[in-house]
Each structure stands twice: as C-alpha cells, then as structure tokens.
Chain A
Amino acid sequence: MIAVESIRKTFRSGSHDVEALRGLSCTIDRGRLAFIVGPSGSGKSTLLYLLGALDQPTSGSIVVDGHDLTRLTESETNTYRRDHVGFIFQSFNLIGNLTCVENVLIPFLPRGITAAQRERAVELLTDVGLKHRLDHRPRQLSGGEQQRVAIARALVKDPKLLLADEPTGELDSRTGDEIYKILRQLQAQRQTTLVIVTHDRRFITSNDQVIEIQDGQLMGAGLATNH
C-alpha cells in the first residue's frame, strides 16, 4: 500500500519558486492499477517521481509498504530504486550504445551480471515480443519496440511497484494500445502495483483507481466507476 501524506514540492525556477505539489494526500492499494490524471503542469509526473524516490518532497511523507521514502538514507534509496521500483518513461530513455538485453540489465551492470539475470532479461524480452531483437541497438527499433524494452527493464528486478510516466505519449494510438495491453497483462500476472501518469483517459477501465490532480492539489481519488 502506498500512502502519500500532505506532500509539498517546490522547485526553484529562475528567481522565483514554483509549487508543483501543494499538500497532496492520497493512497494507492497494493496490486492495483492506478492512473494519475490531470492537465499538463498539474504535478502528475512530480508525484510519480516522488513515489519512485527520484527526488525528495519539500515536506510531507510517502510510505510504500511501510517504508517512509522521506527518511531513507542515500544507500537505502539506491536499494529501493534498484530492487523495488520499475520506471517507464514517456521517451523510453534507453541507452543508445547498449543492446536491448544490456539495456534491460542496466540495474545490475555495476555489480556484474549473472547468467541467471541475463536469462531473466531474455525471458522478459521474449514476453514482450522482442526475442528477435535481443542484440539490436535502440536506434534499430521502432518507438513501440523501444518502449517494450523499457518495460522489460522495469520488470527485470521483479518490482513491487511499477511507475509509468505517459508510456504511450510518443507512440501512435495503435502501438499505444499494444503497450497498454502488455502493461495490463503483466500487472495482472504479477500483481504488481502499477501507477500510470496519463492525460489520455481512454485506457482507464472501471476497476482501475484514479487520482485526479489539478494545480498540485488532489481533485478526486477512487475507483474509475465513481468518476
């Protein structure tokens, strides 16, 4: 379970401060597929990044499975990112001079890659339909294929929490549909908590949780059926 309590996040922009999140509180159930929706600049991605411990809130707390992310040490934060969270970005963010398999294995590169980890990466790439692209570089792949590599990379550590920031934002609608299909399938199989930031509500189904944000504040939260 994720519990976000009164978080604020202020950025310095030039000579003035910008408040991206203004005392936002919400909860996300474990194993649930949750959507964070809202207009551009509402603070959706900032909330997602904070859930992934990619930054610290200015105030407030974020508790994921009993661990307060605002109190983690540097080392604990690294471990949390490496072992517990998978991240999928809008622009895929694959590393150009690594192959598909190597991109999937990025979390393990600093400590050396084991045969089991490599096997797991191949298995995941096979699951997302890229068995024939294992040794290809990102520039040799289509956008949809790149995003599937990114999904495999996010899943290679069997995370409890999967975070996706506009995962279909740079894809055409058909490819976007395929990506959502894959994400839903994997989430259902693994019972991973999947949080997706989007402004495209057509992918939301009735059983999904929806958190609606505007101007850094919570406008509403609950199952999609109530929205």
Chain B
Amino acid sequence: MWKFAWRNLLTRPLRTALALIGLSIPILGVIGLFSLSEAVRNLIGTTLSRVQGVVVLREGAFSPVFSDLTSDMLDKIAAVPGVRAITPEIWKIAPSVEGRSAAGNIVRNVLNRDPKAPSKQLQNLLDQPIVVGQDPTRRAQIKSEVFPKAILKGEAGGRYLEPQDVGTDHVVISTKIARDNPRPDGQPRKVGDSLDIGGKSFDIIGMYETGSMFLDVVVLMPIDTARKLLNVSPDTVSSFYVEGDDPSKNDELTARIEQTIAGVDGRSPNEFASNFGSLMSQLDLFLLATVSLALLVGVVGIINTMLMSTTERFAEFGVLRTNGWSRRDVLGLVTAESAYLGLLAGVVGFVLALVFTLVANQFLGSTGLSLSITPRNALLGIGLSLIMGMIGGFYPAWKASRMVPMAAIRLGAS
C-alpha cells in the first residue's frame, strides 16, 4: 500500500512539488532559526567561559556600558570576604573611530552597500567599537584576565596595558578594529601605528584577538585616559571586575557583595549564562510562534492539495471500497500519501537549511557566529514536517474514507 501511495503522489508531480515547496519553506525556517539560536548560544557560552571573575554593575543595568557606580565603592567591595582582587572599569561606546561615529557607521553601512563584500556590511553593523578604561596597576593583580591572554604572539601582538601606561594615550585594540580602520595605504593598523578616537590620536601598543564578536569590539586604554576622552568624572566608574579567592564560589561571592552594598548587581559567569539562557528561551518561543504561523500556511497547502487529490479520485476510492477496502484502509492510503508529502517536505527543508547555513556562514564572516545543523534540529524539522503532513492529510483522508462506495463511483463517473 505504501508503494501505491507513493505512486499516487508521483502521478501529479506539479501539484506535489508545489505542496512540497509550501511546507518545506517553513521547515527551512524551523531548522535555520533554531540553528541560528544555537550558534548564538554557543558563541555566548564560549565568550562567558573566558570570564572567570564577577562583574559588579549598577542594579538593573543590562551591561557595563549602561551602568554607572561611584568610585568609592571599590574599597567597600574589596572589603567583602572572599574578594582577592578588584579593578574599576569604564565601558562606553566609542565616540568616533577614525572620524566615524557609531550612528554614522550604521547609516554608512546602509547607504554604501558593497555587493562584493556583503559579510563586511553585516559585520560592521554588529561591531561598533567600545572603549574600555582599565586601571593597569590594579589590573596587574587580576589573574583571570580575558584580553591579556588574547594578545597576539610575537611582535605583532605588542603588549598589554601596564602600570607605566597610566596617563598615556596608549591603546590595545583587536585585529578586527585594526582591519576595520585601516591605514591610509589600506593596510590594517599595526602595533606602533596611531588610531583616532573621538578626534584624538592614540598609540597602538598591543593587538589582541579573542575570536568572539562580543569581545573583539573593545578598545582598551588606561582608565584616566578613558575618563578624559569620554568626559567621565573621577568619582564615577561603569563597573568593577572582582576576582574571588576561589572561582568556583563566585555565586556565593556575588551574593555577599549584593548583601553588603546596596544598589549593585553582581554578575558571575553563571548568572550571565543563566540570564542569557532565559533570554534565548524567550527568543526560541518567539521564533517558534513565528514559524508556527508559517507551518500553519504549509498545512493549509497540504489540506488543499490532498482535498483536490481526493476529490478527483472519488471513483478510485469507490472501486477500492467495492473491492473490500475498509474505511480504515482508505484512510491509511490517503494519510500515507500526505505523510510522504510531509516527509519529503522535511527532507527538502533540511537540504535548503543546509544550503542556507553554508551561505549564511559566508556572510557572518569573522563575527565568531557559525551556523550548523545539529542532528537534533534536523530530526525536529523533518519530524515536524512529517506530523504536519499527516495532520494536513487527515481531513481529506477522513472525507474520502466516509464516502458510500455507490455514491463515490457515481460522483467519479459524473
């Protein structure tokens, strides 16, 4: 009977192909969007795994960029039991780099589209530089630093900020920022070159590369220099980076800091991960809801196809019933046809998603995001398609199975 059902689908190839397209596109959406969601999760997970300490922010602030605390909190936090080292930080969106502001970059990217380098446009939209001011003296006590470990090996990497850099216009930048803001000769900037930030020239003393799109946008400079550049008063910092005696007890340390000092949030890597996981779960739900609408349209397409198919085949169903086929047999035949349709749409959707991820990965370039279709997502997409196909075929199948054989034959003959 499965062979018979398969042949019935092939009898009307154009209609079958159209129904396949109708359902396979939502399946592409399911697989593609969930792959994207997983890629973002992986990237965030990788990024957070580099952060070993606790970040103290203003209560309710989304990130250090949107946080402001008073500088005198440093001593209070340092006095909390379990704190081994602490350093203040200033995080702000760079006013302009090489004369280009953040807002200007976005507008420029939209207006000056370069069809030869689409990945660069997308990357630029995601890569607005952020200035981070650090206290090189205090930073020297920190062991779990992300950026010093990412300094390139050899002469190309230069060095990280050190206590002698206090009061200088030295900066450490990423290779990405170096590429995005090339020298007049078009070559990426190197250690020893200068970089214009906010209309002021800075000397590049170090070059790092973390591989994460969230971290490789940072321009590091001494905190006093950052204050002058960004007009931040000496009484204010964005956040404190705190290292505990035992990194495995960061959650307890966070709780103690929050209990001791009012108006702050301590964020351990676990908490960042948890907050992000919760955000991504909500995003997944949103994606699912969006894709469900597309799936609904696909199912309606299957219903339409199968209804047309069964309406044309009344006589055939009448003949089958005349020859002893039960209602269940007819129901099974039509459901098998729609199941095949769903399964095929799932496979086609999966193949389209594979192509989509290959193309998307070219566009995402060096953002650190890498889409891949996990077996779980592939099975989810194909399984969902199979179920949708069967659901879509059920009503036409039920209708075909309920026909009185005599009426079916006469309707088919008329």
Instruction: Give the interface of A toward B (CB within 8 A).
Output: 46, 49, 52, 54-55, 74-75, 78-79, 81-83, 87, 89-91, 93, 95-98, 102, 106-107, 109-110, 153, 157
Contact = CB atoms under 8 A, between A and B. Distances in A.
B404 A78 contact: no
A130 B274 CA distance: 74
A54 B409 contact: yes
Nearest to A96: B11
Say whether chain B's binding surface is mostly helix, strand, loop, or mixed.
helix
Nearest to A85: B322
Contact of A106 (B8, B319, B409, B412): B319
Interface of B: 1, 4, 7-8, 10-11, 315-316, 318-327, 329, 332, 404-407, 409, 412-413
Given A83-B324, A110-B325, A95 B319 contact: yes
A98 B5 CA distance: 11
Contact of A110 (B1, B7, B315, B404): B1
B406 A55 contact: yes
A81 B316 contact: no
Given A54-B405, A109-B4, A81 B413 contact: no
A52 B322 contact: yes
B407 A109 contact: no
Contacts of A46: 406
Contact of B324 (A49, A82, A96, A102): A82
A81 B321 CA distance: 8
Given A95-B316, A106-B319, A78 B409 contact: no
A98 B315 CA distance: 15
18 contacts: A46-B406, A52-B322, A54-B318, A54-B322, A54-B409, A55-B405, A55-B406, A74-B327, A78-B326, A96-B11, A97-B4, A97-B7, A97-B8, A106-B319, A106-B323, A107-B325, A110-B1, A110-B326
Contacts of B329: 110
Given A81-B324, A153-B323, A97 B1 contact: no
A98 B7 contact: yes
B1 A109 contact: yes
A120 B320 CA distance: 19
A110 B323 CA distance: 11
Nearest to A87: B322
Nearest to A112: B1
A91 B414 CA distance: 11
B60 to A, nearest CB: 66
A55 B410 CA distance: 12
Contacts of A52: 322
Contact of B407 (A55, A95, A157): A55
B304 to A, nearest CB: 21
Contacts of B405: 49, 54-55, 81
Contacts of A95: 316, 319
A109 B407 CA distance: 23
A91 to B, nearest CB: 6
Contact of B326 (A55, A74, A83, A87): A74
A98 B409 CA distance: 18
Given A97-B8, A109-B4, A54 B321 contact: yes
B409 A81 contact: no
A46 B8 CA distance: 30
Question: Which 4 pairs, one residue from A and one from B, show the smallest C-beta to C-beta distance?
Answer: A82-B324, A55-B406, A54-B405, A54-B406
